[in-house]
Structure 1
Amino acid sequence: MEEEPQVEVPCYFLCPISLHMMRDPVTLPTGITYDRDGIERWLLTAGTCPLTKQPVPADCDPTPNHTLRRLIQSWCALHAADGVQRVATPKPPTDRARVASLVSRIGANLTSTPQELLAALRELRDVASESERNRKLVAAVPRAVDTLVGVFVTASATSAAVCDEVLEIISSLELSEKCLLARVIETNEALSLVDALVSALQRSNTASRAHAALLLQNVTAVMSTNSLVPLPEQVFGEVVQLIRDKVSRAATKAALHVLVGTTPWGRNRVKAVDAGSVPVLVDMLLDGPERRACELALGALDRLCGCAEGRAELVAHGAGVAAVGRKALRVSDVATDKAVRVLRSVARHAATTAVVQEMAQTGVVGTLCVVAQSEQYGERTRERARETLRLHARAWRSSPCLHQHLQAMYPC
Structure 2
Amino acid sequence: MAEIEVPPYFLCPITMEMMKDPVTVSTGITYDREAIERWVFSDNNTTCPLTKQPLIISIITPNLTLRRLIQSWCTLHASNGVQRLPTPKPTPTHPQLSKLLQDSSNTISTSQIKSLQRLRLIAAANQSNKRSLEAAGAAQILSSLIVAKSLHGHEDDDCCEEALAILYTLKLSESSLKTLTKNPQFFHSLTLLMQKGRSYESRAYAIMLLESMAELADPSQLINLRPQFFTELSQILRDQISPKASKAALTALINATPWGKNRIKAVESGAVSILIDLLLDSSDKRQCEMILTVLDHLCQCAEGRADLLSHAAGLAVVSKKILRVSQLASERAVRILHSISKFSATPAVVAEMLQVGVAAKLCLVLQVDCGSKSKERAVEMLRSNARAWRNASCMPNILISSYPC
User: Structure 1-normalised TM-score?
Assistant: 0.89
Give, as a single letter, the amino acid of the residue that structure 2 aligns with 1:324: V
Partner of 1:85: 83
Partner of 1:310: 304
Partner of 2:20: 23
Deviates more, 1:386-395 or 1:334-343: 386-395
Percent identity between matched residues is 44
Give, as a single letter, the amino acid of the residue that structure 1 aligns with 2:210: L
Tell me how far 1:50 sits from its aligned partner.
4.8
Give, as a single letter, the amino acid of the residue that structure 2 aligns with 1:184: L
State how far apart, in whole Å, the 1-side matches of 2:34 and 2:328 are. 40
Q: Note the alpha carbon deviations across 1:255-295, whole angstroms, 9 max, x for none.
A: 11222222224521111111111111111111224111111
Unpaired segments ≥5 residues, structure 2:
none
Give, as a single letter, the amino acid of the residue that structure 1 aligns with 2:59: C
Asked whether the equivalents of residues 163 and 200 of structure 1 are also in contact (C-alpha less than 8 Å), the reply is no
Q: Note the alpha carbon deviations across 1:6-57, whole angstroms, 9 max, x for none.
A: 2322233333333332322334465544333334444544555555566554
Q: Secondary structure at the residue paired with 1:202?
A: helix
State how far apart, in whole Å, the 2-side matches of 1:163 and 1:321 are. 43
Shift of the 138–378 alpha-carbon distance from structure 1 to 2, 3 Å rule, reads same
Asked whether the equivalents of residues 373 and 382 of structure 1 are also in contact (C-alpha less than 8 Å), the reply is no
State how far apart, in whole Å, the 2-side matches of 1:11 and 1:301 are. 57
Partner of 1:384: 377
Q: Note the alpha carbon deviations across 1:93-123, whole angstroms, 9 max, x for none.
A: 334443233223334x1x425x432222111
Partner of 2:167: 170
Give, as a single letter, the amino acid of the residue that structure 2 aligns with 1:396: W
State how far apart, in whole Å, the 2-side matches of 1:338 and 1:29 are. 48
Equivalence map 1:174-213=2 (5 Å): 174-176=171-173, 178-185=174-181, 188-189=182-183, 191-203=184-196, 204-213=198-207
The one of 95, 98, 108 equivalent to 2:96 is 98
Q: Would you say 1:112 and 2:112 are equivalent positions? A: no
Shift of the 260–17 alpha-carbon distance from structure 1 to 2, 3 Å rule, reads closer
Q: Would you say 1:219 and 2:216 are equivalent positions? A: no
Shift of the 125–408 alpha-carbon distance from structure 1 to 2, 3 Å rule, reads same
Q: Secondary structure at the residue paired with 1:62?
A: strand
Q: Note the alpha carbon deviations across 1:208-237, whole angstroms, 9 max, x for none.
A: 111111111222222222222222111111
Shift of the 279–12 alpha-carbon distance from structure 1 to 2, 3 Å rule, reads closer
Q: Secondary structure at the residue paired with 1:34?
A: strand
User: Structure 2-normalised TM-score?
Assistant: 0.91
Partner of 2:336: 342
Partner of 1:325: 319
State how far apart, in whole Å, the 1-side matches of 2:127 and 2:400 are. 59
Partner of 2:122: 127
Give, as a single letter, the amino acid of the residue that structure 2 aligns with 1:392: N
The one of 266, 280, 294 equivalent to 2:274 is 280
Q: Would you say 1:297 and 2:296 are equivalent positions? A: no
Give, as a single letter, the amino acid of the residue that structure 1 aligns with 2:315: V
Give, as a single letter, the amino acid of the residue that structure 2 aligns with 1:250: K
Shift of the 244–61 alpha-carbon distance from structure 1 to 2, 3 Å rule, reads same
Shift of the 12–201 alpha-carbon distance from structure 1 to 2, 3 Å rule, reads closer
State how far apart, in whole Å, the 1-side matches of 2:243 and 2:227 are. 24
Deviates more, 1:23-32 or 1:320-329: 23-32
State how far apart, in whole Å, the 2-side matches of 1:51 and 1:335 are. 42
State how far apart, in whole Å, the 2-side matches of 1:46 and 1:130 are. 20
Tell me how far 1:308 sits from its aligned partner.
0.9
State how far apart, in whole Å, the 2-side matches of 1:252 and 1:340 are. 24
Deviates more, 1:98-107 or 1:347-356: 98-107
Q: How many residues align?
A: 399
Asked whether the equivalents of residues 41 and 133 of structure 1 are also in contact (C-alpha less than 8 Å), the reply is no
State how far apart, in whole Å, the 2-side matches of 1:222 and 1:7 are. 51
State how far apart, in whole Å, the 2-side matches of 1:11 and 1:208 are. 46
Shift of the 285–30 alpha-carbon distance from structure 1 to 2, 3 Å rule, reads closer
Shift of the 279–37 alpha-carbon distance from structure 1 to 2, 3 Å rule, reads closer
State how far apart, in whole Å, the 1-side matches of 2:367 and 2:50 are. 56
- CA-based RMSD of the aligned residues comes to 2.3
Give, as a single letter, the amino acid of the residue that structure 2 aligns with 1:394: R
Q: Note the alpha carbon deviations across 1:56-80, whole angstroms, 9 max, x for none.
A: 5433240341x43333222222223
Q: Secondary structure at the residue paired with 2:31?
A: strand
Tell me how far 1:315 sits from its aligned partner.
1.0
Q: Secondary structure at the residue paired with 1:12?
A: helix
Tell me how far 1:336 sits from its aligned partner.
0.6
Asked whether the equivalents of residues 374 and 382 of structure 1 are also in contact (C-alpha less than 8 Å), the reply is no
Asked whether the equivalents of residues 201 and 212 of structure 1 are also in contact (C-alpha less than 8 Å), the reply is yes
State how far apart, in whole Å, the 2-side matches of 1:405 and 1:241 are. 44
Tell me how far 1:306 sits from its aligned partner.
0.8
Asked whether the equivalents of residues 198 and 234 of structure 1 are also in contact (C-alpha less than 8 Å), the reply is yes
